[in-house]
Structures are given as C-alpha cells and as structure tokens.
Amino acid sequence: MKRRKLIKAQTKWGWLRWFVIGCFVSYLLAVFLTVAIVNYLGKDLPNLNDVSNLRLSQMTYIYSADGVLLGTLTSVYRKWVSIDKIPKHLQWATIVAEDKRFYTHPGIDPKGIVRAIWECLKARSYVQGGSTITMQLARNLYLSSEKTIRRKLKELLLAVRLEKKFSKDELLELYLNTVCYGHGAYGVQAAAELYFGKDVSELNLPQAALLAALPKRPTDLSPFVNPKAAKRRRDYILDAMAEEGYISRTEAEAAKKTPLTEGLRPEPTWLTEPPQAFHFVDFVRRELVKRFGQDVVDRGGLKVYTTLNYKLQKEVEKVAKRYLNAYRSVGADQMAFVVIHIPTGKILAMYGGRPYRIDPQTGKRRLDHFNRAVLAYRQPGSSFKPYVYVAALEMGFRPNSLFNDSRISFPVGNGRQWSPKNYDGRYGRTMTLKTALAVSNNVIAVKLIRAVGVDKTVEVAKRMGVKFPPYVNPSDASYSLALGSVGITVLDHTAALASVATGGIRVTPTGINKVYDSEGKLIYAIKPEGQRVLMPEIANQMLTMLISVVTEGTGRRAQIPNYQVAGKTGTSENVKDVWFVGFTPTIACGVWLGRDDNKPLKAGSGGTLCAPVFREIVMKALEYYPGERSFPVLKNQRQFDSDEHTEERKDERFVRVAICAESGLLATDFCPVTQTEYLPSKKVPRRRCPVHREELVPVLICSASGKLATPNCPAHSVVTKAFLKSQIPSEACDLHSPTVSDSTAIDETER
C-alpha cells in the first residue's frame, strides 16, 4: 500500500516537474522569438528622436509655368495647436471615441485587442479595430496604411516606444494635431475652422463631440455628406462620456438635443470653388500619381511646376465662354481644347468643359470634374482621315494619285447596304488625294482605307499617338473608321497630328515641367524624348496636304495672317461632334464642340464652328510663343530654287516639277491651276495631264489638195478633220476654180 502511494506521488511530481520545465522552455522560446522579431523589425524602424521622420501629411502645390499658384492637391489643411488650448471636453470626447483606457495602458490595450477579435469573429467580418490612440499615432506618423502582419507588428513596437518617449498629454497633443477630420482638414484647429469657423478653444460640448466622431470614418460621417450618421455617432459619444464620468447625464442629454446644424458652416469653399485651370490641375494630378504613386502625391508636400501659361489660360477660357454663348443657337453646350507647344510637347493651355453643372436633383450648381479634353472619347469625324492618308502614302500612293468618287456600297448584314455620302452630295468626279483631303471627300476616304486596309490604318494611328477606348476594337468599325466612327480624345488627337509638323517625330504631351520634394530637392524635370513615327518624306507629303485643307479646302476659316497653318476639319454623323485639329510650325491646337447628352447639333460643321475658335486661340498663343511663321522646307529643297540649279544638280534626290492641281500629273501649258513640288526623281509622274490639253477643232478639208476646202471644191472631195489649233492648215484649196456661171450667180446674190 505504501509502495503504491509512493509510486503515485512520484508520478504526480514527475508530471509537475515536466510541466514546469515545459513552461520554462516555452517562456525562453517566447522571449527568444520576441527578441528576434524586435531586432528584425527594429532595424528599419524610424528614429523617434528625429522629428523629420514624422509622416505629417503636407499639401502638394501646383504652380503654372509663370509661377502662379493654381491650386493644391488633396486640400490638406493643418494648423498646430498646443494641448492647453484644446478644450477638455474635446480631449475627453476623443478618448471615449477612440481609446477609453488611454491613460492606463502602455501603448497596447490587450483587452481592446481581444474584444475586437471577438467582435470580428462573431460578425465573420472586420467590424472593429483594436488600435489604441498611440498605435494610430504610430501608423499616421511613421507607417503606411497597408494591411499586413509586418506593418501591424511594427505599429505595436512603435506604440510601446512612443509611450516611453512621450507623456500621455504629449501623445494626445500629437494625435489631435495629426488625425484627419475629413475634407482635407488635419488636426483639431483646422477642423474647428472648417466645420464651425471658430478657434478650437471656442468649441462647445456638442461641437467637440461631433469632431471626435469624425476620425473613425471621416468621409462617411461628414455632416456635409451624411448628417444623420454624423448625429448618431455624436450622440453615442456623448452617452459614453456620461458613462465614463467625464460629464453628467444631464449635460449629455442637453447636448444631444442640440441640432447638428447649430453653428455648422456651409459646405467648405474649396469643395465648391475650383482651383485655377482645375481641369488641367486634375490632369497633372493623374500624371503625378502615375509617376510617384498616390501616397506621395497625397502626403508628400510636393511643389510641382507645370507647363501651363497662366495668362494664356485665362485668355482662352474667355474665348471658350464667348463662343459657347454664341453657339447656344445651334444647341452646343460643351467645348474642349488643348494648346501644345510642338517643339517640347508642353501643354500651354487646356479647357475641359464648362466648370459647373446643375445638379438635376437639387438644382444646385456643382463643380464638374469631368475633363472632356482628356477623358472623353468622341467621334472625330473627318478629322481622322489624315491617318488613312498617311497609311496610303506609306504604301506608295502619292498626293497626286487619282481617285474617282463614284458611289460605292458595302453589305452590312440582313440585306442592308452602307453607302458613304459626300457632304456636298456630288459624285462621279476624278480628283487627286490631295484635293480629296482638302475638300473632305468621304467616298474617296472609304475607297482609300479599303485599298490600304483597316488594320494598317489602326497601326498608323496608334503609332502616331492615338489611344482608342479600352473597350473598343477599332478594327471592328471596318471601312467606316475612315470617317471617324471610333471615339478618341482631344489631347491624343492633337498631339498625334502634330507629329506631322515635326517631320515625323512624335509629340508627347506633358503638363509637368519640374517637381520638387518637401525639402526643396529636384526629383523630376521634363526631358523631351523624340521618337520617329513617320519617315520625313511621308510627313512632308502629309504636311503639304494638310496645308491645302486650310488654304483651299474646308478649313479656310482657320487661316492666320502671316502664318502657315495646317489642319483638318471633322464632323461626325448627324453633327454630334464637330472638330478642328491643326497647327502652325510651333503651336498645335485641337478643338471639339458638342453636347454632353450626345444629341446632334442643329447645324454647323468643324469648318464653320471649330475653325474660328482654333484661329482665335492659336493667335493668342502665338503672342506668347511666336516661333517660325512657315514650316521648314523639305530636305534639299532650297537647292532647287532656280532652273539652273535643277540642271546643275541632276544627281540629287529631289527635282522640281510642275504638277496639275486637278489630275496630279505633269502639268501642260493648258492646265488652269498648277503647283510646284519637289519630288524624288524616281517618283516623278511619267504622264502628262490628260484632262487639260490643246483643244481639237473640226475643220473642212479638201481631200484632193489637203488644204482648207472652199465653196468651189466638189462635195465628194470635202471631208471633216480634227486639228489642234496650232496645226490647222492656213492655205485654201487652189485646185478648184470657180466657173463663169458660178461667178454670175455670186454676183447676182451679192446684188
């Protein structure tokens, strides 16, 4: 019996010994792992003694090229205030709302974490966080908002270190001056001014509770956006303050009865008043995000110097407003345009549409952020034809190649036919490609894309810089693509056609000139990059054709005194979109006019509505950037300025020839309109113009003498022959003399 008890006791103490040993080993492993994790994560933790490491959100400033502040990104507004100027009831409300055990925990609240995990498990989703005020502060000041275990562990370590470094009042002061209260306001002072228009020290209890409610979800709980949710959260905080003993129940109930709107300001001004050139500023913001990332743009305190000329921008905005008012009669309600400096690709001005729209539900005027110059894909109509013609030139066609605009039809299914129609309703004419583009002949454009192929045209357009809608395959449009049936943007279209002016070097538009970080260090500067997209010969041929559009075609209203202008008009089907896209040697501009609801205009075309707008905008731009007045001559062209130079340089690549403007072939002395062109010697037309030649004249000839027939020649000897005027015989027949009786008859007749 004793032996059995002894064995049982030994077994009991043996298990206890091993349990103690296991716990000790587990403790050592936990300590080892903790030390290892702390050492590993602590390597890249910030130095809390270095205040410059604080990730305080700073505004990104956007300036024009001439130094005018256009606006700020993210509308970050911050003013620092010491803890002694922050009302106690605002401090208490914040503690109750975010961290009830703030004054008792060491930076981490295990109970709060366990409670949050339990609530999330019950809801089977993330419904509650366990972060203390110190943990939130660590995240806001030093870390990103990524949701990873590594970041959470860093947050815990930093929270503990912050508790050792600062007092509770210092931590609360840091938190209240850095947390976001919505609408770009960071810190309680900025929030007090934003929501109530007063100093933070003047806030009453219900106002303080409302501010304390916002950091949880600043957007969703904003009294401007969701007043009912804001009031529920405010009242919850007031009840919690009473439960924790910070205020009495009577004070809480009285504060809950206070209307939410009492003392609340109207909607913040920066939400309704746009920055200068705000469509352009938004375009720059998108470019910055692509280059630096959203977090840097939102919080990095960048100073961005753009390419926009502020004075020019204000002038062209007035032009847009004036023309939009004038075009109300044709039903137009929106306009968009861009102005690009061709040598550098800098965007000098941008107009994305009317700055305001009327909210159909409230009837209030709202800021319209949609940038129609960059984001809207609108049908370019005939202004798309240059890409078809470039494809044709690359495949060996010439500006003087002849096409006939006789009617043509294509099956489109279900027994239906599609027939392109000319704007003037005339058909059956033979003309050169140059003339066809100048007069914007639709039938010839369709025949041309059929000849070169739709895929080839799409490839050329993309190569030159056109981006089609991501949800559209432009090849599916088939031959109607030649008439601009697929939407493109004003910015892409303008920059792409401007590559013709550079001799085939792509113009890459940019709105950013230089970027400095928050410490004033230059981190980006524009570097124009030239990429050849067209051979110089093709670009020069296309340039000549686009100039003819303005000098003798549909774009005459775009002519600018003392400047060469090239461009193309465009009018989509049913006059829903009208365009003019063109350029001088240094300035490119694309103008679109239409309606947001995509309804047709009552009348007009790109040549009548948009070309005058283009002319006035570019003339203003030329006042600031005059540049060259005419396009650079073709390579080797100057050496052919005289006939003797042509003879002296027969071995050169280009020769000067006279071309008939109508047929595109070698001109004759009888062609009414000719033009001098410099062409490669191998591509000079071999035929002379068959349309205009010396006129043949029918003449009566005596077959016996071969001379002009006279009344004396027998009828059987007289024949009709056709002669050129220069070859008509000058002598009359002398073989057949008049008889006596004939003379008598003549005399009697004369009497």
3-state SS string over 730-748?
Answer: CCECCCCCCCHHHHHHHHH
In this prediction, residue 99 carries a pLDDT of 83
Under 8 Å CB-to-CB from 135, ≥6 apart: which residues?
107, 108, 155, 156, 158, 159
Same domain, residue pair 501 and 546? yes
The 8-class DSSP code of residue 14 comes to H
**Last residue of some domain: 271, 294, 321?**
271
Q: Lowest-confidence range among 96-110, 150-164, 242-256?
A: 150-164
What rounded mean pLDDT belongs to the chain? Answer: 81
The 8-class DSSP code of residue 725 comes to G
Contact 270, 281 (CB under 8 A): no
Same domain, residue pair 153 and 24? no
**Last residue of some domain: 252, 271, 290?**
271
**Quick one: which of 507, 397, 526, 502 has its CA closest to 463?**
507
Question: Considering the domain boundaries, does residue 605 fall inside one?
Answer: yes
481 has a pLDDT exceeding 80:
yes
Under 8 Å CB-to-CB from 651, ≥6 apart: which residues?
none
Under 8 Å CB-to-CB from 234, ≥6 apart: which residues?
206, 209, 210, 213, 256, 260
Under 8 Å CB-to-CB from 137, ≥6 apart: which residues?
159, 162, 171, 174, 175, 178
Helix (H) or strand (E) segment spanning residue 68: none
Residue 744 vs residue 673, higher pLDDT: 673
With 0-12 CB in 10 A as exposed, 13-18 as middle and 19+ as buried, what is 214?
A: buried
pLDDT over 90 percentage in the chain: 45
Which stretches does DSSP call E strand in 463-603? 512-516, 522-525, 566-571, 577-583, 587-594
Catalytic residue among 64, 98, 537, 605: 98
pLDDT in tens, 383-408: 999 999 999 999 888 898 888 888 98
Q: In this structure, what token pair is assigned to residue 434?
A: 């140059």
Question: Is 146 an active-site residue?
Answer: no
186 has a pLDDT exceeding 80:
yes
Question: Considering the domain boundaries, does residue 503 fall inside one?
Answer: yes
Question: Considering the domain boundaries, does residue 362 fall inside one?
Answer: no
Average pLDDT over residues 140-169: 70
pLDDT in tens, 693-732: 666 677 888 988 888 888 888 888 888 887 776 678 888 8
**Last residue of some domain: 242, 271, 300?**
271
Same domain, residue pair 659 and 713? no
Same domain, residue pair 606 and 675? no
Same domain, residue pair 676 and 700? no
Average pLDDT over residues 172-200: 87
Most confident listed range (122-131, 426-435, 658-667): 426-435
Q: Which domain holds residue 737?
A: 696-750
Question: Considering the domain boundaries, does residue 88 fall inside one?
Answer: yes
Same domain, residue pair 590 and 656? no
Same domain, residue pair 452 and 546? yes
Which stretches does DSSP call E strand in 219-312? 303-306
Give the integer Cα–Cα distance in Å for 479 and 420.
10
SS3 label, residue 397: coil
Q: Label the pairing between strands 303-306 and 577-583.
A: unpaired
Average pLDDT over residues 225-249: 92
45 has a pLDDT exceeding 70:
no
pLDDT range class, residue 664, cuts 50, 70, 90: low
Same domain, residue pair 164 and 247? yes
51 has a pLDDT exceeding 70:
no
Number of domain units in the chain? 5
743 has a pLDDT exceeding 50:
no
Question: Considering the domain boundaries, does residue 156 fall inside one?
Answer: yes
First-last CA distance in the chain:
183
Question: Considering the domain boundaries, does residue 345 fall inside one?
Answer: no
With 0-12 CB in 10 A as exposed, 13-18 as middle and 19+ as buried, what is 48?
A: middle
Question: Considering the domain boundaries, does residue 434 fall inside one?
Answer: yes
Same domain, residue pair 195 and 86? yes
Q: What is the dihedral of CA 493, 498, 500, 501, to 10 degrees?
A: 160
Give the integer Cα–Cα distance in Å for 701 and 304.
88
Residue 426 vs residue 159, higher pLDDT: 426
Q: In this structure, what token pair is assigned to residue 248?
A: 């009495």
The distance from CA 670 to its chain's CA centroid, rounded to whole angstroms, is 50
Question: Considering the domain boundaries, does residue 720 fall inside one?
Answer: yes
Question: Is 131 an active-site residue?
Answer: no
Under 8 Å CB-to-CB from 165, ≥6 apart: which residues?
48
**pTM, full prediction:** 0.63
Same domain, residue pair 80 and 216? yes
Catalytic residue among 57, 64, 382, 440: 382
**Quick one: which of 205, 369, 363, 187 has its CA closest to 274?**
369
119 has a pLDDT exceeding 70:
no
In this prediction, residue 649 carries a pLDDT of 39
pLDDT in tens, 521-560: 999 998 877 899 999 999 999 999 999 999 999 999 999 9
In this prediction, residue 357 carries a pLDDT of 75
Residue 509 vs residue 369, higher pLDDT: 509
Same domain, residue pair 578 and 713? no
Same domain, residue pair 679 and 723? no
Give the integer Cα–Cα distance in Å for 312 and 472.
36
